[in-house]
Amino acid sequence: MKFIHTADLHLDTPYQGLQGAGTPQELWKKLRQGPYDSFHQLVNDALEQQIDFMLIVGDIFDSQHQSVTALNAFTTEMERLQDAQIPVYLSFGNHDFQADDGRGLHLPANVHIFPQEPTTLTLTLADGKTVAITGFSYRNRAVTTDKAAAFPYRGTADYQIGMIHGAEKTGVNNNYAPFTVNELLEKNYDYWALGHIHKRMELCASPLIEYPGNIQGRHKNETGEKGYLQVDDSAGHLSKSFHETSPIIFSSLSFSLAAGMQESELLNGLEQLLASQHYQKLHLINIVCRATEPVLNQALEQNILTGISLAHLQDLLQEQNLSEWVYELSLVEETSLNFTNLDQEYWEATAPEIFSSEHVLALGKKLFEKGFLFNEFQNEVAYTALQRDSELLLRAATQRKEDLNED
């Protein structure tokens, strides 16, 4: 048995915030095409590997209302799989929820769509083995009930697979088919195919409980290679392997500012930094410039903060072959806080707890009911950035207070 597990295609993702970031039109077109190219490569691999079936676990589209381009592209890929007699089992998620269970999309006959309630479909493979696949689709943006509880226990099929577009139960934000790993284990399935979290993660190694991540990064917190999982039983048990398909990769770089550095030196240094990466694919990059006061050139600081340095760097990049594009240039002044009336030791001791995922999610509550905010904080980089920005704001506020007292 051999199958592909994918999720979170987001074929018509809007990439909000990038189009206005000085991005050349040519590059913008490549970015918008990215999810389509990634999924096309995934289907190419499926045909080449002659897989038995494919699982797509929610958020095929970025919205419940699909663009004509996205729907046509997806239908075309499904038809390619139908021509190869490869069945597809899919569910809709919180982004592309369908009130009619997708009947209005008119997909090819090889596509099997799960309804609102957990339902089991059975497939017989060429070698006679049977596979039971249980899943469900969203009819609304939120699913607050524990759908996993309604999944049947393992039956008599040779392989039992569960599909859930959702997230583990937490103290807050249980709007996306909440589940626990223990209740999945109790079902005694061979494989759990998950979706919704855009980061590739393994929740359990035996049996495999897997998030494949999305197939194309959508913003700076979705860095690194993106693709799908291929699962097979060639070793006598189910094993998985990751396959990259994303044509565009989001990444982050760090650059140290030297004492008294001028604008021209910054640009030369950034060009050298980019050249040293030897990227094989198109990379979209945010660069964090790090400085220690008081060595920072004030004019350079203003240029970075106002976007002038970024514009100069982008002008240089446009003269090249656009193998990389810097869309964000930020400044971090790495100084000790030294707040007036604030015990430095107390801050350093409590900050890790304050900016932990548990604490931030608990404080956010209603905010994290928004799926895009919840996804934003599925990456540790987000918590580090939140702590850093909070420190800068506190230090700036303290300095303003000191300045007023001096006046």
Mind listing the pLDDT tens digit for each residue in 242-270?
A: 999 999 999 999 999 988 899 999 999 99
How far apart CA 145 and CA 152 sit, in angstroms, is 16
DSSP secondary structure, 334-383, as one string: ------TTS-HHHHHHHHHHHTSHHHHHHHHGGGGGSHHHHHHTSSHHHH
**Arithmetic mean of pLDDT, 163-182:** 91
> Can you give the pLDDT at residue 353?
72
- Residues with Cβ within 8 Å of residue 121, at least 6 apart in sequence: 89, 112, 114, 132, 133, 134
| Percent of the chain residues past pLDDT 70, beyond the cut | 81
Could you tell me the pLDDT band of residue 375, with boundaries at 50, 70 and 90? low
Please check the confidence at residue 368 and state whether its pLDDT lies above 60.
Answer: no
> Can you give the pLDDT at residue 74?
97
Quick: pLDDT tens for 94-147. 999 998 888 889 999 999 999 999 999 999 999 999 999 999 999 999 999 999
Where b means 16+ CB within 10 Å and e means fewer, 152-190 reads eeeeebebbbbbbbbbeeeebbbbbbbbeeeebeebebb
- Element of type H or E holding 254: strand 248-256
The CA R_g of the chain, rounded to the nearest whole Å, is 24
How far apart CA 107 and CA 42 sit, in angstroms, is 18
Could you tell me the pLDDT band of residue 25, with boundaries at 50, 70 and 90? confident
Q: Any idea which of 44-48, 54-58, 146-150, 322-326 has the lowest mean pLDDT?
A: 322-326
Please check the confidence at residue 339 and state whether its pLDDT lies above 90.
Answer: no
> Can you give the pLDDT at residue 236?
86
Would you kindly state where each structural domain of the chain is located, as residue ranges?
Answer: 2-244, 248-335, 339-407
CATH code for the domain defined by 2-244: 3.60.21.10
Q: Find tokens 């676990």 and name the residue.
A: 57
Please check the confidence at residue 160 and state whether its pLDDT lies above 70.
Answer: yes
Q: What is the pTM of this model?
A: 0.83
Length of the chain, in residues:
407
> What is the residue-averaged pLDDT of the chain?
87
> Can you give the pLDDT at residue 13?
86
